[in-house]
Amino acid sequence: MGSRGDSASMNTRNEQIEAILDQAEVVLDTGDAEKAIAICDHALSLFPGHPGALFVRGDGLRALGEMAEAAQSYRAAALARPDHASSWASLALTAFEILNITEADRAMKRAIREDPTNPQAWWVRSLLREWRGDISGADRSRTHAAWLDPIGFPLPPTLTEEEIDTLVEECLMELPQSIRDYLSNVVILLEDLPGIGVLKQFDPPASPLQMLGYFSGPSLMDRGEGFTPWSQLPANIILYRRNLQRYAMSRDHLIEELRITLLHEVGHFLGLDEEDLKVRGLD
């Protein structure tokens, strides 16, 4: 009788925690990450260290942009249930975004070891290979992730360098002549990815996935009277091709995002801040 009673009690507890976590996931899907986290915290008060509650809590923290805390929650979930590949994969992605490359690599490898068919783990593997300059290896891993889950991890649209150059020229021609005159001394570059030095110029450091473009150098607002476009080293606008491709959901979306990113960085050159750019639809 005792063992049957213990089993029934365990089943009741499992049903209770599953119901709470289902509620948290539904709330998270509606966009209320803070409420979802509160539900997970309640679950953890009832079931301390529960891996499912820790995992969903990590998802909520990611949605809020609290990456360091999200990584901590995913880490706890993975350690509480080491065979759960999704916890390791989510930890790998979040660690990568906060530039903890060593932990990201270890967590990615553990996720693949626990479940070789986990598409997120293979996608993170592509990010890490890309980060290290192994572009062909990154493309192979990304293709494998898309093969495992073509909806969740579709292959990104692409543009050739010639097509991007043409789009940049067309975008610049839409600007007033006075702005184009100043831009004549601004170097516009196309690079695959932002370097760690650029990412660490922000506090906290910018995500290596989220940065689509970057402006460096003095803006027009920073320049004193008597300035001419040739009086100092040129400013730079850099467009990050692989991040733009990853961000876009279609070729048309990629073209539009490239245009928006270019105009966003031109806005920085003109001295506009992020709030100014948001008002103009260039955030």
Q: What is the pLDDT of residues 48-93, one digit of tens each?
A: 999 999 999 999 999 999 999 999 999 999 999 999 999 999 999 9
pLDDT score for 229: 52
32-41, 136-145, 217-226, 250-259: least confidently modelled range: 217-226
Examine the domain organization and report whether 123 and 194 are in the same domain.
no
202 and 141 within one domain: no
Range of the domain at 137: 2-148
pLDDT of residue 77: 98
Q: Which of 124, 148, 172 is the last residue of a domain?
A: 148
* Residue 224: predicted pLDDT: 53
Whole-number pLDDT of residue 183: 85
Give the domain CATH number at 180. Answer: 3.30.2010.20
Average pLDDT over residues 182-188: 86
pLDDT of residue 276: 56
Share the mean pLDDT of the chain.
89
Decide which of 84, 113, 148 is a domain's last residue.
Answer: 148
Residue 90 placed within a domain: yes
Same domain, yes or no, for 184 and 119? Answer: no
Does the pLDDT value for residue 258 go beyond 90? Answer: yes
Model pLDDT, residue 152: 95
pLDDT over 60 (residue 8)? no
Task: Pick 269 or 119 by higher pLDDT.
Answer: 119
* One domain for residues 144 and 23: yes
What is the mean pLDDT of the segment spanning 203-232?
Answer: 76
Say which residue, 224 or 212, is predicted with more confidence.
Answer: 212
d(CA 17, CA 13) in angstroms, rounded, equals: 6
Give the per-residue pLDDT at 151: 96
Note whether residue 154 is domain-resident: no
Neighbours of 236 (CB within 10 A): 15
Is-contact 58 80, C-beta < 8 A? Answer: no
The answer to whether position 240 is within a domain reads: yes
Per-residue pLDDT for 279 more than 50? yes
155 within some domain: no
Phi-psi region of 118 (alpha: psi -120 to 50; beta: other; left: phi over 0): beta
Same domain, 238 and 103: no
Q: What is the pLDDT of residue 2?
A: 47
Q: pLDDT value at position 223? A: 58
Domain count of the fold of the chain:
2
78-82, 123-127, 273-277: range with lowest mean pLDDT: 273-277
Taking residues 241-249, what's their average pLDDT? 94
Q: Is the per-residue pLDDT at 218 higher than 90?
A: no
Between CA 35 and CA 42 the distance in angstroms is 11
Q: Averaged over 163-176, what is the pLDDT?
A: 90
pLDDT at 60: 98
What mean pLDDT comes out for the span 174-178? 86
Q: Tell whether the model's pLDDT for residue 232 goes beyond 70.
A: no
Q: Residue 44 to residues 17, 26, 66, 98: CA-CA distances in angstroms? A: 9, 18, 19, 25
* Residue 199 sits in the same domain as residue 134: no
Which of 148, 174, 190 represents a domain boundary (last residue)? 148
Supply the CATH number for residue 112's domain: 1.25.40.10
Query: Whole-model pTM?
Result: 0.87
The answer on 181 and 126 residing in a single domain is no
Cβ-based neighbour number of residue 197 at 10 Å = 7
65 and 184 assigned to the same domain: no
Shared domain for 53 and 184, answered yes or no, is no
Are 105 and 186 within one domain? no
pLDDT at res. 274: 64
Residue 156 placed within a domain? no
> Would you say residue 231 has pLDDT above 70?
no
Are 283 and 274 contacting, i.e. CB atoms less than 8 angstroms apart?
A: yes
Q: Does residue 106 surpass a pLDDT of 80? A: yes
What is the percentage of the chain residues whose pLDDT exceeds 70? 87
* pLDDT score for 1: 43
